[in-house]
Amino acid sequence: MNIQQLKNIVSLAHKLNFTRAAEQMNIVQPAFSRQIKQLEEEIGVKVFNRDKRNVSITPAGAYFIAESEKILDHLKKAIIKTNKINNGEAGEIRIGFTHSALQTTLPNILKSIKQHLPDLKIILREINNLDHYQALLHGDLDLGIGTNPTVPPYLNHKTLYIDYFSVILPEDHPIDKTNYKDFSVFSGEHLIRPARASGHNHVRKIESICSDAGFLPSTVHETDSAIASLKLVEAGMGIAIEPTSSLLGLNFKIKSIVLNNIDHKVEHIMMWHPDKEKENPTLFGLF
């Protein structure tokens, strides 16, 4: 039994005429009749009753034809999806991101993928910059969006968004937007920051904000989680310097001051391995 035979019986079921069904399948009538007979012999069931004038479907044949139509429909869908996967229009994409990207660039990227590649399954992982590099190198991620990453030479990259830093303070801190003059007022504060190993360039910028203000920061807690950092600030464990976008949509008992008068900025950078772009040019064409 083969796919052509299944197509033949479905055609005959619709036409109930050997000549017209053979014409539809572009097969000479004797060969068409022979294939129908061979299929019936193979399954051991008469699918059609026929005489010199009429063709009708047997009860068992009706079931077999219905199941054959399901098989052919499933095969058609499988072929379509296979081609979409081959063209990068289906399958899955794995995207890594840092917290502030979730608040800024990532939603628009997801909307674009959904609009242009609706069959593509999206898997998201919130990770730090260092883990991005390794995951992209080893093919565990297709795209990564880092915060001030030091992009390795084996990755391609593109700047998506430039953000300000903000200093995050407990709600009852004496400094606020009304009396803040420059960052030197925080010289005596304990700093909460990410671990250096997880994002060296990002930590270097945070420390430079302090050194440019004339002091070295006293780091008391390290965390790669922006949420954990804000919770520690809320608990009065210190202050933090975070991308301003990290605060969007959150409701903590904290306050913040945007550092829009300093040179250091937050760059949200998309990274990917060149091999991934070759495998899926349709996807990368969106960016």
CA distances from residue 116 to 9, 105, 110, 199, 284 in whole angstroms, order as listed? 38, 17, 10, 33, 11
Last residue of a domain, one of 35, 66, 86: 86
Last residue of a domain, one of 60, 86, 112: 86
Q: Which of 157, 107, 160 is nearest to 136 (CA)?
A: 157
Tell me the pLDDT tens digit for each residue of 77-127: 778 777 766 766 667 889 999 988 888 899 999 999 889 888 888 999 999
| Banded pLDDT at 225 (limits 50, 70, 90) | confident
- 199 and 77 share one domain: no
Tell me the pLDDT tens digit for each residue of 43-89: 999 999 988 788 999 999 999 999 999 998 888 877 877 776 676 66
CATH for 36:
1.10.10.10
- 144 and 276 share one domain: yes
Q: Domain span at residue 148?
A: 90-161+268-284
Amino acid occupying residue 150:
T
Residue 165 near residue 265 (C-beta atoms within 8 A) = yes
Last residue of a domain, one of 86, 113, 130: 86
Nearest 10 degrees: Cα torsion 184, 188, 189, 192: 90
- Rg (Cα) of the chain, in Å, rounded? 32
Whether the full predicted model's pTM is greater than 0.75, yes or no, is no
- 182 and 254 share one domain: yes
CATH for 154:
3.40.190.10
Q: How many domains does the chain have?
A: 3
